[in-house]
Amino acid sequence: MAATYTNTAWLDVRICGEQVKIEGPAATGALKNLVSAIVRLSNGTSDGSIDKAYFVHESAKAASSTTAYDFHTSLTDAYGQVCSMAEITTIVIRNTRTTALAWIVLFPSAVAPFGRLSGSKGFWVADIAGDLDQGSYIGPGGFRIFHAPIGVPVSNGVADSISVTCSAVAGDTNEWDLLVLGRSA
């Protein structure tokens, strides 16, 4: 019997800002500003579902180096299966280097850039002047989460690649986690 693979995912996001008002010796007011979303992405290719998942922990990356991710052909998942995505719903990237100012930047690759706004879908704005100033800077210890339930299209050879470039801070010790969820169709 041929192997089959069933990918699903979930997100549990809770962020709470708490404010307390104190008058004299007593707290007289308290606010909890809670932003919350708990989302289950079942297996499938319709909106609200996923059937592809890719995770990598990168490490020992050199200063100023660039690592590219081609969502159409070059990624393999934990089972060794080629992880070819037609739409991406979620990108989570976490900079796990702690050296001061050692940022990483996630951006549409110069060649076949994925994720620029097109057809009202994208993770970054379109590149007005073709000067590659889109992207997301993630400081040391920081992270970025994108989640688009309707998905952002991947176009083979045209809009299928993102890159991560490391800062010039000395040391081949840049590292990050990257988790990408998407659909094969």
Partner 1 sequence: MTTYYDSAWFDIKVCAEMVRTEGPSVGHVKHLVSELVTMANGTADGKIDTCYYRHESAKAASSTTQYDLNASLTDAFGQTKTFAEVVMIAVLNRRTTALAYLIVGPHTATPFGRLSANLGFWPADIAADNDQGEIVGPALSDSEPGMLILYDPTGVPAGAGATDIFSVICSAVVGATNEWDILILGRSA
Binding string, 54-83, against partner 1, x = CB under 8 A? -x---------------------xxx----
CA angle 92, 97, 100 (to 5 degrees): 120
Kindly state the smallest distance separating residue 144's Cβ from partner 1, in Å.
Answer: 6
The count of C-alpha atoms lying within 13 angstroms of the C-alpha of 149, restricted to the half-sphere facing its C-beta, is 10
Q: Does 163 bind partner 1 (CB under 8 A)?
A: no
Stretch that binds partner 1, among 46-54, 65-73, 154-162 (CB under 8 A): 46-54
Residues 6+ apart with CB under 8 A from 161: 68, 69, 70, 71, 108, 109, 111, 112, 113, 114
Using the CB atoms, write b or e for 40-64: b if 16+ within 10 Å: ebeeeeeeebbbbbbebebeebeee
Q: Which is nearer to partner 1, 71 or 146 (CB)?
A: 146
Q: Single out the residue of 104, 152, 154, 164 in contact with partner 1 (rule: CB under 8 A).
A: 152
CB of 44 to partner 1, least distance (A): 13
Residue 71: other Cβ atoms inside 10 A: 27
Nearer to partner 1, 103 or 112 (CB): 103
Among 5, 74, 82, 185, indicate the residue that binds partner 1 (CB under 8 A).
Answer: 5
* Interface with partner 1, residue 20, by CB under 8 A: yes
From residue 119 to residue 148, the character string flagging contacts with partner 1 as x (rule: CB under 8 A) and all else as - is xxxxxxxxxxx-xxxxxxxxxxxxxxxxxx
Q: Does 26 bind partner 1 (CB under 8 A)?
A: no
